[in-house]
Amino acid sequence: MVRGLRTGPLIPILGLLVGISAGILLDPSVPTELQPYLPIAVVAALDAVFGGIRARLDNIFDAKVFVVSFISNVVIAALIVFLGDQLGVGAQLSTAVIVVLGIRIFGNAAAIRRHVFRA
C-alpha cells in the first residue's frame, strides 16, 4: 500500500505530461466535422480526471472504473452534442452538458480540497 502510493501517481502524471507534449509537438490537424465536439470531450475528460483524483484520496480508486468512466463520459458528451446539432438545439445542449460537468468538477474539486487541506 505504501509502495503503491509512492509510485502510483507517478505513472499517470508522466502519461499526462507526455500526452500534452505530444499534442503540442505533433499538432495533428483535426477533421472539421469533429471540431465542435472536442472542447466538450475535453471537459468530460476533465470531469473523469477530477473524479479519479477524488476516488484515489477516498482510497476507493479503481483503474477500470476510471478508464470506463473517462471513455463513456467523452463519448456520451459528444453524442449528446451531435444529437443536439441534428435537432437544431446543439448550442443549448452543449451548455447543458457543460453545466452538469462543471457542477461535478466543482463538487469533486471541493472534496479534493477537503482531503488535502483538511478543511
Partner 1 sequence: MLRRLLDETLDPGYEEVAARRTADGQEQSAPQNWTRRLVLAGSLLLIGALSAVVISQVRSSAPQREELRQALIEDIAAQRAAGDLLAQRLVDVRDEATQAREQLLAATTEGQDALDELDAAENAAGLTPVRGPGLSVTLTDAPAPEDGRDNLGRVLDRDIQSVVNELWAAGAEAVSVDGQRLGPTTSIRSAGQAILVDFRPVTNPYLIEAIGPTGMFDQLLESAAGRLLASYAAAFGLGLDVVGSDQLDLLPGTGAAVTEAEPVELRRNGAPVGTW
Binding site for partner 1 (CB under 8 A): 1, 4, 8, 11-24, 27-28, 30, 35, 38-39, 41-42, 45-46, 48-49, 51, 54-55, 58-71, 100, 103-108, 111
Q: Which DSSP string corresponds to 86-98?
A: HHT-HHHHHHHHH
Nearer to partner 1, 1 or 88 (CB): 1
Q: Could you count the other beta carbons within 10 Å of the beta carbon of residue 40?
A: 22
Residue 69 CB, nearest approach to partner 1 (Å): 5
Whichever of 33 and 88 has its CB closer to partner 1, that residue is 33
Cβ 119 to partner 1, closest distance in Å?
18
Query: Measured from the CB of residue 85, what is the shortest distance to partner 1 in angstroms?
Result: 18
Q: What distance in Å separates the CA atoms of residue 58 and residue 8, rounded to the nearest whole number?
A: 15
The CA distances from residue 17 to 22, 28, 39, 58, 78, in Å, are 8, 17, 19, 24, 24
Nearest approach, Cβ of 92 to partner 1 (angstroms)?
A: 18
Q: CB nearer to partner 1: give 63 or 119.
A: 63
| Residue whose CB is less far from partner 1, 23 or 87 | 23
CA distances from 75 to 16, 71, 97 (A): 20, 6, 12
